[in-house]
Each structure stands twice: as structure tokens, then as C-alpha cells.
Amino acid sequence: MAALALGIIGFGIMGERLLRQALPHPELRLSGIWDPSPEAAARLAAIDPALTMAADAAAVIAGCDALYVAAPPAAHIPLARAALQAGKAVLLEKPLATSLAEAEAFVTEAEAMGARAAVNFPMASSPAVAQLSAWRAAAGTPQKLRIDTHFAHWPRGWQRDAAGWLARRAEGGFTREVVSHFLFLTLRQLGPLRLLSAETTYPGGGMAETAIRAELTAGGVPVSLSGTVGQITADEANAWTLTAADGSIRLRDWSLAERLHEDGTWHPAADAVPNERMRPMVLRGQMDKLVAMTRGQPHGLATLREALDVQRIVEAILAA
């Protein structure tokens, strides 16, 4: 089959990471990329001087078979809607929108038209998550789940170029940016999410949250969630820890699948690797799934409905 034309709008860190996996992919070719930032143009030229920015977002949409939207959240739905109306497949970054009502209306609209659309939750393609799923059968009935996400600073060091929106309450914050990934994982592993209580701390001045604490259920399983900024010295630390009747398993620091042994120590999977090595494999898996979705085949990417379910919980936590 001929390679599919991939367009990218938004060339921050995520746009660059995905591009680096798309360029060598045998079933994809870059048809256009656009970001209004001069810094983004310089990064693109550093990857390959032959790559240049398109004239505008409309040109990227017109020339692609599939569009990846990695712009700030307020632009997600306008860009996705334009691409879907032009008959293109769309892979969106999360959250779907800055307004929950807008997100709900968009998902209803996209489902009604049978849109080929998904959201980039990379855990859908994570080998570590696949390992957790394999272990769960032996672990027995789930009893409780704990999710911890902690940061030395927000945004993280590698996100400073996007601090203009990531650091602000209106569009950013670690709950939307990071916790959402673990809520998606929880939804996939345990079932529907229900928020029971939440408490969120803001520093004022329109800045994003510095602490959250919440109690939820997922498929009836109790879930405890906590997150902080400024309480650790490492850039970040996270863990998704499931206690079950016959054992405990966890995902630590994005990529390390671990099991609790009888001696009380955690042991990683034999093929566990740090996130820096895991990330390219995960994004390659996302590209494989994007190709399948664009061709109208089963794919396994996060659906718009799953992303909306996650966003509902996220926004309820942030409103607490």
C-alpha cells in the first residue's frame, strides 16, 4: 500500500517526538507541518534542513490523510473538526478541550459522523502496560488502587518552552497533563471511573494546581489519588499500584512494570527499561495504530469517549 500522508499541527516536544517516529515509519510520509513559533521552525530545520513549515494549518489539513494535533488545548477541537469535516483521520492530544461542554458536544458530533478519531494516550501501546495486563490474571480480584504523581517543579524541566500555558490554571496543570494518563490506564484496566471526593490546592494568580487528593472508584474498585508539586527533588516520580487478592503489581515512572514478591520487595519485569528507552517503542506502537485507524482497521488507540470520560474526572478534581 502507498504510504499515508501525515500532517502535524503543533511542533513542541510532543510534535517533535512523534515526528521522529513517523519519519522512518514505512507506512507514513510527512505531508506537512505547521507551528507559528520561530523556535519550532528552527527545531524542524535541525532535524532535517529539507523540512519546512507549511503556510498555515489549513494547508496541512488539505494535504494529509491523517492529522496529529499537538497544539495547545484551546485549539484541539477547532483543528480536529476542520480535519474531520475534510474527511481526514485525526489523532488528538489531550485534553479534548478547555471546556468540558465543548468536549462533550464534539464527541457526540464525531461519533454521529463515524469519525476516524482518537486521542494520544501512549499507554495504549506500552509494553509495560501489556505486562501488567498479563500479570493481572495471576494477581486475582482487584482490591484497591493507589495513584501517586509528584513533581519537583511544574512544568517539568523539558516542558519550559510551553510554560506559557502549561503553568496556568486555564489550560495547564499536572492533573490534565499527567494524571489523565493514569486515569486512562485505570479506565482500561478496571472499568468506569466515578469520583467520590477531591481536594485541590492552587497558589493563586491564575496558576495551575500544586496539590490534589481524590478518592474514586473504577469498576467498583476503590482508588486513592494524590499529586504534589515541590515535595520531591527529582524531576518527577509516579506510581500506579494495584493491590489484588493474590498479589500486587505496579507501573512505576511510566515504564517499569513491577511485581511485589513475598519478601516484600518489588521486582521489575525481565525486559523492563527506563522511560527514555521505552518512549520510542511506545510512540512507534502509536504510529502503527494510527495507520490502522486511518485505513479503517481495528487499532486500540484511546477513543474520544474514553478521553471524555477521563476529562470529566480531571475537571471535577480541578473544580474541587
CATH code, 12: 3.40.50.720
pTM summary value? 0.97
- Residues 85, 17 share a domain: yes
- Residues 185, 79 share a domain: no
- Residues 177, 129 share a domain: yes
Number of separate domains in the chain: 2
- Residues 86, 10 share a domain: yes
- Residues 314, 171 share a domain: yes
- Residues 179, 231 share a domain: yes
pLDDT of residue 18: 95
- Residues 181, 137 share a domain: yes
For residue 190, the domain's CATH number is 3.30.360.10
- Residues 246, 102 share a domain: no
- Residues 205, 145 share a domain: yes
Cβ-count burial of 295 within 10 angstroms (0-12 exposed, 13-18 middle, 19+ buried)? middle
Bridge partners for 117 per DSSP: 90
Query: CB of 78 within 8 A of CB of 90?
Result: no
- Residues 132, 76 share a domain: no
Helix (H, G, I), strand (E, B) or coil at 43: helix
Domain that holds residue 205: 124-273+309-319
- Residues 295, 267 share a domain: no
Query: CB of 186 within 8 A of CB of 219?
Result: no
List, run by run, the mean pLDDT of 10-residue segments along the chain (320 residues). 95 94 96 95 93 96 98 96 98 96 97 98 98 95 98 93 92 97 98 98 97 98 98 97 97 98 96 96 98 98 98 97
pLDDT of residue 160: 84
- Residues 85, 134 share a domain: no
pLDDT of residue 293: 98
Bridge partners for 242 per DSSP: 145, 249
Spell out a b/e string for 140-178, using b for 16 or more CB atoms within 10 Å of the CB, else e.
eebeebbbbbbbbebbbeebeebeebbbeeebbbbbbbb
